[in-house]
Amino acid sequence: MHPIVYYALFFAIIGAIGMAIANRKATRDVGKKRWLKYFVYILITILILTSIGYNFFFWIGLIIVVACLLELIINNRTCNPKAVQMLLSFIIFFIIAFGFLLYATVFEWPFLLFIYFQVFIFDAFCQITGQLWGKHQLAPSISPTKTIEGLAGGWICCIAAAILGATWIRVNISEAALFGLLTGFASALGDLSASWYKRKLNIKDYSNWLPGQGGFLDRFDSLLVVGFFYYFLYILFLKAGF
């Protein structure tokens, strides 16, 4: 069995413990919402890991892209933003989505697994460490719930995940740590960008299609940007290595 199964299980248990501790300070309703979000995210992670292992990740990625596009269309029509803003949102989305889908096709499954493991850990532990220790808002005008402590915790865990997966793509520890830094950066950029556009549209969630997640764009913003980012790096630097 691939080591990621044990690593993912370990991090999922640590995350659940952290969630339980954080929820001691929360109301019952908030705690229920957090657990719903957590367990749905675990199910999503299992699906994506399975799709990578059994070579249908591109099709899952295509479903994600189509769902995100539908959310973008519906919210732009409902909120009726300025024409320039709407046009730019679609142009940027199509560029990112196209790069993400190319990323899903050019890389072999070990690299896809290596990168998604980092994204999964980053997303989960940004939230958990933020709930446990978050005191300083990261970008209050974009997302009041995101904290500097949450970002730091998620980024550190992302680097740890990259180091744990170093042997999957045959890189050394320092190279793996660099991948962790880059993945954390791209993940944070995707997360903040999606939150920023929600504020521009003055909406709380992109949709209720994924229970507790705030929509496909909210759930997969990091993954889409990370995929685009690594395809861009592939074109510039990594192609010779693959």
End-to-end, the C-alpha distance of the chain in Å comes to 24
What is the pTM assigned to this prediction?
Answer: 0.93
Q: Are 160 and 180 in contact (CB under 8 A)?
A: yes
**Residue 192 · residue 139 · CB < 8 Å:** yes
pLDDT at 148 over 60: yes
Confidence of residue 18 (pLDDT cuts 50, 70, 90): confident
Which has the minimum average pLDDT: 90-104, 137-151, 155-169, 176-190?
A: 137-151
pLDDT digits (tens, 9 = 90+) for 160-178: 999 999 999 999 999 999 9
Task: Find the mean pLDDT for residues 91-95.
Answer: 96
3-state DSSP helix/strand/coil % of the chain, to nearest 5: 80, 5, 15
42, exposed or middle or buried, with CB in 10 Å at 0-12, 13-18, 19+?
middle
Higher pLDDT, 95 or 1: 95
Domain ranges of the chain: 3-241
Task: Look at residue 5 in the predicted model and tell me its pLDDT.
Answer: 87
- Report the pLDDT value the prediction gives residue 206, as an integer from 0 to 100: 95
Mean pLDDT of the chain: 92
| pLDDT for res 80 | 85
Alpha helices in 2-140 (DSSP H): 3-23, 28-53, 57-79, 83-106, 109-133
Check pLDDT > 90 for residue 143. no
Is residue 37 over pLDDT 70?
yes
pLDDT of amino acid 116:
97
